[in-house]
Every structure is written in structure tokens, then in C-alpha cells.
Structure 1
Amino acid sequence: MKVLMFGWEFPPHISGGLGTACYGLIKGLTHHNQDIIFVVPKLWGDEEPMADFVNASDISIDYREKRFKSIWKNLTYLEVSSFLVPYLGPEEYQKFTDYALHDRSDVNESIFTTKYQFSGKYGKNLMEEVSRYALTGAQIARDRSDFEIIHAHDWLSFPAGIAAKEISGKPLVAHVHATEFDRSGESVNQIVYDIERAGMHAADHIIAVSQLTKNTIVKKYGIDASKVTVVHNAVLDASIIISSFQKKVPEKIVTFLGRITFQKGPEYFVEAAKKVIDRDPNVRFVMAGSGDLLNRMIDRVAELRIGTKFNFTGFLKGKDVDHMFAISDVYVMPSVSEPFGISPLEAVRHNTPVIISKQSGVAEVLTNAIKIDFWDIDAMADAIFALLHYQGISRMFKELGSEELKKLKWEHVASKLITVYEKTLSETS
């Protein structure tokens, strides 16, 4: 089967779990001999050659075609006044400015007579790039007509998926890795929500990364439950890593690694840290990541007077992530709303016991972890203390976790995805 797939990022150039998930899915699909045309706004040249990559920045648009004008007429974009990452929360979204609905039936020929150079990033022209990417998707769908099905990842790529479907008539699978309600709680950005909803309703089938996400899709976006299939994520390599990294501090290390945003619950981690340090000062807490709540977390650590036992590393990737997991004694993911959450699986792979919130999709598949409500900082602190001080408990989670990882492979995920493709094709043929 040949799949036309739209994403926004791909390793090694990523800002979060979306790119990692795309990598795992493509690797799993190629394991099952599926052909993937993977489109990204910008290729950097150092991507692993595991798919037929298409650089949207290389595509020239034949906008004169009537169908292209119709697509462009209905596209919207926002001019964004500051840096925007699609994973971030309401404070970033509130910085949107100058929303305009473009009725572009009078498109100037100069707009698409040359290739559009995408930044491949999440800067101030993000929403304009989303719209242009959609038109590029339509052009690719017209030029590469040998594919059988379209697969679009999250809201950034949904307009491209819709446009490709309109041009080609091929069925569309929308893959929901996170929703606006995960990122922003109830303070959703209406434009992003509208893009998500349009993508879900236009899709012939929807993939949700967890039952938690499926419930949100059904309740908040008005989608029939029969149209949504849950396909959990996995880990790239299920083998346990025996690392040579050594700690350079005498204390035990407890780590939070993720975006420092509302969705990830960093404030609960800080409050739990205070309770643990009060009981045992021989513990060091690390918050690895970046986000709109970073400065607030730094201020709160100062207010609690635990700064000498607390480190902020900034955004980590690649080997730095492996290093962080390897030297950690406990990994904590206190997410308020986590559609899935691959990082706990990565921590288990590094033989690190994990504490995860019950409000996460990964809690549906990872049995051997301590699960707490994100808001229960007393339970979080008790769990951290127990894993640090009772070696029998820690050893049990390490041993059972390593066995559990063997069942969470991307080739298994891909097999389920192929079943969804086949079902969608049979229902739309």
C-alpha cells in the first residue's frame, strides 16, 4: 500500500513527541513493506532515508487551476506576534494578532509563480505556512496520484490532508496526537479548535493515541465513536539501555522532562519536590524543558527556598535526553492532560522507575508504573520518597517495566494502522 502522509516535523529536527511518533510509525510501516510518501514543510538533509520524503519548499504551485483557487479561498491564517509552538498553552495563543479570512478569488499571479520557502519552524508566520502547506498538499496529491490513502498528523497538517482529499478523491485518515483541550484546558484557541474540528469531520477515519483522546474527540468535537480507532504509541527500541553515563552529584535525582506548560503540570512537580526535600535533603530535582511557565516555575522554586536542590536544564534532545534518563533515579510525568506521553516509556527503557498521572494515555498501556492524580502532590511526594528509599519497590518496577516494553513496539502499532487503512479503503470504495 502507498500512503501519502503529511507531518510538520521529523527527527532530528523536532520540538516534541509528534516528530518522534511520526518516525516510529514510518519505521513500523516500512517493516510491513508499506510505501510512504512523507511530506514536511522543510527538509534539512540529515533525515534518515526511511521514506520517500517530499520537501514542501521544493514544490511549485499551479494556482491557476480552478480547484486550487477554491481551496485557497477557504483557507485562513493568523499573523502571530511571537514564537509559537503547536504544543504550547493559552498564554502563547493569546498572543495571536490580526486574524483574517482570505477570500482569495483574486489571487495575484506573483503569489504562487515561485516556490514558497517554508521555515520548517514555529515562528510568527506559522498559520500562513499552514495555509500554504495545504495548497502544497493539493499540488502533491495531483502530481503523485499513485497513492491509495492520505494520512495527516495533528492540526498543522489537517488542512493539507483535506486539500489532498479534495484534489485526489482519496480517503483521509486524521491522526490526533493531542487536542486543543489538552494544550489549553477549557481556554481553547477558537481558530485552532476550528481547524481540528474541520479535519476530524472531513476525515474518513480518525486515529486517537489513547482512549482518553478518543473520549475528547467524541465529546468535544461531535464525532461518532465508530469513526475513531484507538492506536496507542510505542517506544523505538524495547531493549533496556545499559548506560555508561555517571552522575556528577552525590544526591539522588528526580526528573521532570517535557514542555513546561499548563498541560504537563510542572507546578505540581515543584510542590511535590518541596515536600520530598523537607523529608530528605539528599535529593536533587531536575526540570528539563522549556515553555511558557518556565519563569513562573523558577520563581516558585525561589519562593520555596529549594533552589540549591533544583536544576533547570532547558530544552534537551538526542543524547542529552538519554543522559538525563540514565542518571535519574525516578522520572515523574504529572501531566494535567496527556493524550499519550512517550517519555515514560523512554525512561523505562533506561531502567528508570516512573510515576505518571492517571490523566495520561500512557497509563492505559504501562502497567508497571506508579499512577497518581496530577493534583495530588502528597501522593506524588510519597511515591517519589518510596522509590528513592525502598529498593525492593524500585527494583520491582525496573524488572517488570523492562518486560512490559517488549510488547510496545512500533511494528505492532503499524500493524493496527494498516488494518485501519484497509477498513477505511473498503468502506470508501
Structure 2
Amino acid sequence: MKVLMFGWEYPPHVFGGLATANFGISEGLHAQGDVDITLCLPHPFGDESQHAARIIAMNAVPIAWRDVDYDYVKNRVGNIMSPDLYYKLRDHIYADFNYMNVNDLGCMEFAGGYPGNLHEEINNYSIIAGVVARAEEFDIIHAHDWLTYPAGIHAKQVSGKPLCIHVHATDFDRSRGKVNPTVYSIEKNGMDWADCIMCVSELTRQTVINQYHQDPRKCFTVHNAVYPLKPEYADIPRPDHSGGERVVTFLGRITMQKGPEYFVEAANMVLHRTHNVRFCMAGSGDMMDSMIYLAAERGISDRFHFPGFMRGKEVYECLKGSDVYVMPSVSEPFGISPLEAMQCGTPSIISWQSGCAEILHNCIKVDYWDIHALADAIYSICSNDSLFHYLQDEGKKEVDQITWIKVGAWIRELYERTLGWR
């Protein structure tokens, strides 16, 4: 089975959870043994793993004819894509796009990540998808998140092949109900065109059905998973804080969706009971400054740490150095970070309003707005060694059974159903 997949980010260049999920899904599908993935990315850097997917660099796909020699193409894009593929794609340019801002190879540039002109880049990406869909052989299309839905639609229009879209989040999650009409329109159009809609949780599936008015029969829940720890992460030692100060961590985007203010308010309540706890708010976002001010207003700045954005090994050092991980998200389609924390042996507290609450059992769940319950849970884990060790041991056992290989098998089955192969 050949899959044409559209993604937006991919490790090791991680801007958010989408990169982790795209990688896990690709690896899980590859593990099935008969799934070949061609993954389109707007701005790969050349150091992405191509173990599970052959990567097409959309910023090296020509949309305007240029008469350039092989060595020049190799020098310009050889680190991210084969020159031979450049020439193959050049033969499938379907219109005159010279009026667009193309470079000397006839390609569009992408900033990578989420720039200020994001909507323009989404549109450009979808134009390039038409060239790729004409040149590649594939059975089915898989588009990740709203950024790539227009590209998936264009590929379907060109090829007539079925389209699967993967809903990692909706604008209802990101905006706390203040939905951007432009984003909503792109999301709904992608869902209307899709033959199969994969949702990262039942919570998200119900949003898709009720808010985007989709047929429940084409909407499926596909929970995320976690990969086994790399040896260099597994070998990071866990410090023993028994008898000393406990560390409680929030790690993620410091934005409205993640509920950081509830973490600060709960921390304040815990510190009225004990001063033997330190709080860490790792990450960055538009609410970071206001959270620093809130901690100062509550008089707990001396117990609060803001280390900033973390990636790679830093994340696992932070998780292993913590006694409690907290994810008080207001609306979390899934939330992989608690799985990563539990994998590191860190007891976790999550909101009932998160998709991962549907599959995790050996953690504590509270309503995001209930700061009293959140404070009680934090204090209990920090002060009760038996509870700490129970959640630590049972949580790790549980998460070790939630694998991307199982996710890949389910997605492969959904592909076959969509194709009418079963």
C-alpha cells in the first residue's frame, strides 16, 4: 500500500506536538511491513529520519520551469532532496506559476514552523501538492491537521484517490470557543472532502461531528501513543527527593488552551500547606509574562521557576527531575506529554478535558477549573510516598503498553476500509 502523506513538522525540528505524532504514526505504519509512505514537508532541514517515510521537500519542488543543470540542482537542494526527483517533478508542472514568488529553481520558499504569513504558506503548499500528486504513485492520501487539508484536497482532485485527514486539534481547542472563521472554514472544507476522518480522541471526534456537522460513520477515534525511551533518555538518572523538596512541573505551551493559570493558583494553595515544594513551568507562549506576574502577585516567586522552551534531552531531564507532572488543559485533543512523564516514572495529574484521559487510568484526573482538587492531588502525591510509588510503578507499566505499532495497525485497517479492500 502506498500512502501520500502531507505533514507540517517532523523531528528533530519540533515546534509542537504535531511533529511527535506525525513521526509516531509514520513509524507505526512502517512497522506493519507493507505500507510505503511518501511524506511531504514544507521545509525539511536534511537531518530528518527517512527510516519510515521518503521525504519530499516542498520547498525544492519546482512549480515553474527552469533550465538548470544537474550539478547546480544538487548543490542547491541535494541535502534535502534528490536532484533526480527535482527533474521528475519538473515534468509535472501543470500551470504557469512564474507570476508567483519563485526562486532560481522555480521553487517556493517556506519559512518552516508557524510564521506570520502562515495562511499564505498553507496556500502555496497546496499549489505544490498538485505537482507532487501528478508525479507520484499512491493508493491513498493522508493529511495531518488543518495546515495540510488544502494540499490533501488538491491531491484528491488531481488523482481521484481517497483522502484521509487526521484531526490533531480543532480551532475550538485552540481558541477556547473564540473560533477564527478562516481557520474553521479550512478545517470544515477538509472534513467535507475527506473520505475518512481520524480524530485523536473521542472528545475530538464529538467536536468534529457536532461542531463541523460530519457524518459519524466516517469519523474514527485514533488515540496517540508513545515510543519507548531512547537509551540516552532512559539512562538519565532520577534524583531522589524523599526527605527534601519535591518538584512539580508544568511542561508545554504557556497558552490559554493549556490552563497555566490554574497551575499557578493550585501551586499557591499547596504552598499555603507546605513550603517543601518547588514548581516549574517549562515552555514558552503568549501567557508566559502574565504567569510570571501572577506568581509574583501571589507571593510565590521564590518557589517558582520558568526555564523556558525545552526540546530533546532537556525535556526528559526535566520530567525525570520532577515528582509530579501536571497538565491542567482547558481543551486538549489528546496530550502526549503525560504519557512521556509516566514513561519516565513521574506520577501525573491531568484534566478530564483531555483526550488522553480516555485511555489513561493510573494517574489522577481533575476538572481543569477545580484548583482545590488540583492542589489536593499535588499535595497528596508530594506527601504520601505510597501513593507516589503506586502511581510511578503502575503508570509506567500502563504507558509501556500504549505503542505506535498498535496505532499503525488501526490506521492501516482504516486505510483498507476507505479503499474498500475489506
By the TM > 0.5 criterion, same fold?
yes
Structure 1 residue ranges, 4+ long, deviating more than 3 angstroms after superposition = 105-113, 238-242, 245-250
Pairs aligned (count): 386
Matched, 1:131 2:126: no
1:111-138 deviation per Cα after TM superposition (whole angstroms, max 9, x unaligned)? 5581101111211221111000001111
Partner residue of 2:81?
Answer: none
Matched, 1:255 2:246: no
Matched, 1:115 2:107: yes
> What letter matches 1:404 in structure 2?
E
1:404-426 deviation per Cα after TM superposition (whole angstroms, max 9, x unaligned)? 12320000000000000000001
**Cα distance in 2 between the residues matched to 1:246 and 1:398:** 14
Matched, 1:171 2:162: yes
**Cα distance in 2 between the residues matched to 1:62 and 1:412:** 42
Kept after mapping to 2: 8 A contact 1:158/1:196? yes
> What letter matches 1:232 in structure 2?
H
Partner residue of 1:272?
Answer: 266
- Choose which of 291, 309, 329 in structure 2 pairs with 1:297: 291
Partner residue of 1:98?
Answer: none
Matched, 1:36 2:37: yes
**Cα distance in 2 between the residues matched to 1:38 and 1:252:** 43
Secondary structure of 2:234's aligned partner: coil
Partner residue of 1:158?
Answer: 149
Q: How do 1:5-20 residues align onto structure 2 when only pairs under 5 Å count? A: 5-20=5-20
Kept after mapping to 2: 8 A contact 1:254/1:329? yes
1:399 CA displacement: 1.5
**Cα distance in 2 between the residues matched to 1:354 and 1:215:** 25
1:234-260 deviation per Cα after TM superposition (whole angstroms, max 9, x unaligned)? 001179935325489952100000111
1:156-179 deviation per Cα after TM superposition (whole angstroms, max 9, x unaligned)? 011110111111111000100000
> What letter matches 2:114 in structure 1?
Y
**Cα distance in 1 between the residues matched to 2:399 and 2:306:** 29
**Cα distance in 2 between the residues matched to 1:189 and 1:419:** 34
1:327 CA displacement: 0.4
Secondary structure of 2:249's aligned partner: strand
Partner residue of 1:225?
Answer: 216
Secondary structure of 1:232's aligned partner: coil
1:295 CA displacement: 1.0
> What letter matches 2:287 in structure 1?
L
**Cα distance in 2 between the residues matched to 1:350 and 1:186:** 34
**Cα distance in 2 between the residues matched to 1:388 and 1:5:** 44
1:359 CA displacement: 0.5
Matched, 1:411 2:405: yes
Partner residue of 1:368?
Answer: 362
> What letter matches 1:53 in structure 2?
I
1:312 CA displacement: 0.6
Kept after mapping to 2: 8 A contact 1:264/1:337? yes
Partner residue of 1:401?
Answer: 395
**Cα distance in 2 between the residues matched to 1:391 and 1:291:** 34
Kept after mapping to 2: 8 A contact 1:368/1:401? yes
Partner residue of 1:88?
Answer: none
Partner residue of 2:184?
Answer: 193
Kept after mapping to 2: 8 A contact 1:241/1:349? no
**Cα distance in 2 between the residues matched to 1:12 and 1:248:** 32
Partner residue of 2:279?
Answer: 285
**Cα distance in 2 between the residues matched to 1:202 and 1:422:** 18
Q: Percent identity?
A: 49
Secondary structure of 2:39's aligned partner: strand
Partner residue of 1:56?
Answer: 58
Kept after mapping to 1: 8 A contact 2:245/2:278? yes
**Cα distance in 1 between the residues matched to 2:97 and 2:268:** 58
Matched, 1:323 2:314: no
Kept after mapping to 1: 8 A contact 2:344/2:396? no
Secondary structure of 1:418's aligned partner: helix
Q: How do 1:239-250 residues align onto structure 2 when only pairs under 5 Å count? A: 241=234, 243-244=236-237, 246=239
**Cα distance in 1 between the residues matched to 2:330 and 2:99:** 47
Kept after mapping to 1: 8 A contact 2:248/2:326? yes
1:80-122 deviation per Cα after TM superposition (whole angstroms, max 9, x unaligned)? xxxxxxxxxxxxxxxxxxxxxxxxx997645558110111121
CA distance change for structure 1 residues 309 and 426 in 2, over 3 Å: closer, same or farther? same
TM-score, normalisation: structure 2: 0.88
1:43 CA displacement: 1.0
Secondary structure of 1:312's aligned partner: strand
Partner residue of 1:81?
Answer: none
Partner residue of 2:85?
Answer: none
Secondary structure of 1:279's aligned partner: coil
Q: State the Cα RMSD in Å.
A: 2.0
**Cα distance in 2 between the residues matched to 1:110 and 1:292:** 33
1:325 CA displacement: 0.2
Gaps in structure 1 of 5+ consecutive residues: 64-104
1:227-283 deviation per Cα after TM superposition (whole angstroms, max 9, x unaligned)? 100010000117993532548995210000011111100000000000001111110
